[in-house]
Copies of this chain bind each other. A is one copy, B any other.
Amino acid sequence: MLQTSAPDARLASDHSDLTTPSADGRRVVIVGGGFGGLACARAMGRAALDVVMIDRRNHNLFQPLLYQVATAALSPADIAEPIRKSLGKCRNVRVLMAEVVGVDTTAKRVLLADGQTVAYDCLVLATGSKYNYFGHDEWQEAAPGLKTIREARQIRQRLLSAFERAEATSDPEEARALLTSVVIGGGPTGVEMAGAISELGRFMVGRDFRNIRPEDLRVLLVEAGPRILAAFPEELTDYAADYLRKMGVDILLGQRVTDVGPGRIAINGAEMAVGAIIWGAGVKPSAAARWLGLSGDGRVPVDSRLAVEGFQDIYALGDTALALGADGKPYPALAQVAKQQGHYLGKALNKRILDGAVAAPFIFRNRGNTAVIGRNAAIFDFGSWRLKGRLAWLLWAIVHVFLLISFEKRLLVSIQWIWRYITRQRGARIIDEDPHL
């Protein structure tokens, strides 16, 4: 009899203890399983802490390569790893797939969308950022950004469908519009997308299509500021702009998008019919500041140890946090910042909770800032020295393969890149039969 009732007993031992405060003051709740949150959880893995990771997705997404999913070069699974799998061996870490909607800082509880709560002794906010549509959130459907797998699939679907429709139509005006892709925002994501669309289109159209020609393709890169890649030195920006122009990308500087709709865009008020539209114009932090009752939806101010100012036992990192570097400027919203902060914070919390000691302040080590433009072309800015061209591109590829989270993904991505380099083929040119994309 005991045997048959055992499963019940076990099934009843669930996450229900999470709703009550911990007995030993050792429960650390991390909201967000991105680069920062994951690094933080791993740094606390196998310590005598009760760590709870909450994310509304089941996977960590390697966003730097998401543009390659959008342009049919990689599959979503190549750059996504289940959070549960990444933390599977850390037996003191529990993973909860749930959406956080608020924080009760008095009762020290995280509020979930399903009405449940999770009590914390220590809270880490690592919720990342989302695209900033500057007050025009209604543009998002027509001009998706590059933050989720769904958006990447949406962009891939629209790019490939536009080519198919241009091949089939007998109206040259319509074909010209469909073959015009627009990328909004001249930051690294925008530059990478513009270059990748141009490469995808030129090869694919030349080889596999009959009625449209590579010369009929247009890629517009729209930037409101005076130059693209504003975070990089001008020397590198000039190189990138020249290279993009050679690839057939039209760079529109100092121009503003004034309206966006399905298959149409207005730039400085002038409307035109186009194919796919991609948004990459700046990010804003997600809702963490609002949860704490802070005004605006800016980043959450933290001190030199990443503790949120004015709150007890709450920390923030990555794109969520406004942390100032030694030069008094905020750290940029980059993966490497989030990752280093996460690792630092995990170690610091181990020390604080288990030993009662205070860690030294966080110091960011710049590993270099990079953007890839196309085949054989990338730029690197290491602060003291700079790199561009084929060598930078090779370095970019090696670094990004090693940053991938598992050996299997590294192998799969390497093979696909080598294959693509040789054949110029894109392996993931699928238009899903999905009526909702």
A275 to chain B, nearest CB (A): 14
A16 to chain B, nearest CB (A): 4
Residue A58 interfacial (CB < 8 Å)? yes
Q: Considering the complex, give the chain B residue whose CB is closest to the CB of A429.
A: B82
Contact B14 A170 (CB under 8 A): yes
Given contacts A164-B58, A211-B13, contact A85 B430 (CB under 8 A): no
Given contacts A58-B429, A149-B433, A208-B84, contact A97 B213 (CB under 8 A): no
The complex places the Cα of A16 from the Cα of B171 at a distance, in Å, of 10
> Assembly of this chain: how many copies?
2
Q: Considering the complex, give the chain B residue whose CB is closest to the CB of A85.
A: B208
Contact A211 B427 (CB under 8 A): no
Residue A357 interfacial (CB < 8 Å)? no
Contact A172 B436 (CB under 8 A): no
Contact A434 B436 (CB under 8 A): yes
Residue A259 interfacial (CB < 8 Å)? no
A298 to chain B, nearest CB (A): 25
Given contacts A75-B78, A433-B149, contact A7 B98 (CB under 8 A): no
A87 to chain B, nearest CB (A): 8
Residue of B56, B212, B408, B428 near A427 (CB, 8 A) is B408
Interface locus among A312-320, A375-383, A409-417 = A409-417
Chain A interface residue bracket vs B? 35 or more
CB neighbours of A430 from chain B (8 A): 58-59, 76-77, 80, 82, 149
Q: Considering the complex, give the chain B residue whose CB is closest to the CB of A78.
A: B75
Residue of B59, B82, B98, B425 near A85 (CB, 8 A) is B425
Contact A211 B15 (CB under 8 A): yes
Residue A176 interfacial (CB < 8 Å)? yes
Most buried by B among A8, A149, A208: A208
Q: Considering the complex, give the chain B residue whose CB is closest to the CB of A15.
A: B168
Residue A352 interfacial (CB < 8 Å)? no
A351 to chain B, nearest CB (A): 26
A42 to chain B, nearest CB (A): 15
Residue A94 interfacial (CB < 8 Å)? yes
Residue A175 interfacial (CB < 8 Å)? yes
Given contacts A216-B11, A433-B57, contact A427 B77 (CB under 8 A): yes
Contact A160 B58 (CB under 8 A): yes
CB neighbours of A365 from chain B (8 A): none
Most buried by B among A77, A419, A427, A431: A77
The complex places the Cα of A10 from the Cα of B423 at a distance, in Å, of 27
Contact A412 B416 (CB under 8 A): yes
Residue of B58, B78, B85, B415 near A411 (CB, 8 A) is B415
Residue of B170, B207, B409, B432 near A15 (CB, 8 A) is B170
Given contacts A14-B168, A436-B434, contact A210 B428 (CB under 8 A): no
Residue A20 interfacial (CB < 8 Å)? no
Q: Considering the complex, give the chain B residue whose CB is closest to the CB of A431.
A: B58
The complex places the Cα of A160 from the Cα of B56 at a distance, in Å, of 13
Residue A169 interfacial (CB < 8 Å)? yes
Contact A408 B412 (CB under 8 A): no
Residue A88 interfacial (CB < 8 Å)? yes
Q: Considering the complex, give the chain B residue whose CB is closest to the CB of A179.
A: B11
Interface positions of A from 361 to 390, Cβ below 8 Å from B: none
Given contacts A75-B76, A148-B433, A416-B408, contact A172 B11 (CB under 8 A): yes
CB neighbours of A409 from chain B (8 A): 427
Contact B211 A14 (CB under 8 A): yes
A89 to chain B, nearest CB (A): 8
The 10 nearest A-B residue pairs measured at CB: A75-B75, A77-B428, A11-B172, A436-B436, A16-B170, A88-B208, A84-B208, A58-B431, A82-B429, A97-B164
Seed contacts A7-B176, A80-B430, A412-B427; 11 additional CB < 8 Å A-B pairs: A7-B215, A11-B172, A11-B175, A15-B167, A16-B170, A84-B208, A88-B207, A95-B208, A150-B432, A408-B419, A411-B415
Interface residues, chain A, CB within 8 Å of chain B? 7-8, 10-16, 56-59, 75-78, 80, 82, 84-85, 88, 94-98, 148-150, 153, 160, 164, 167-170, 172, 175-176, 207-213, 215-216, 408-409, 411-412, 415-416, 419, 423, 425, 427-436
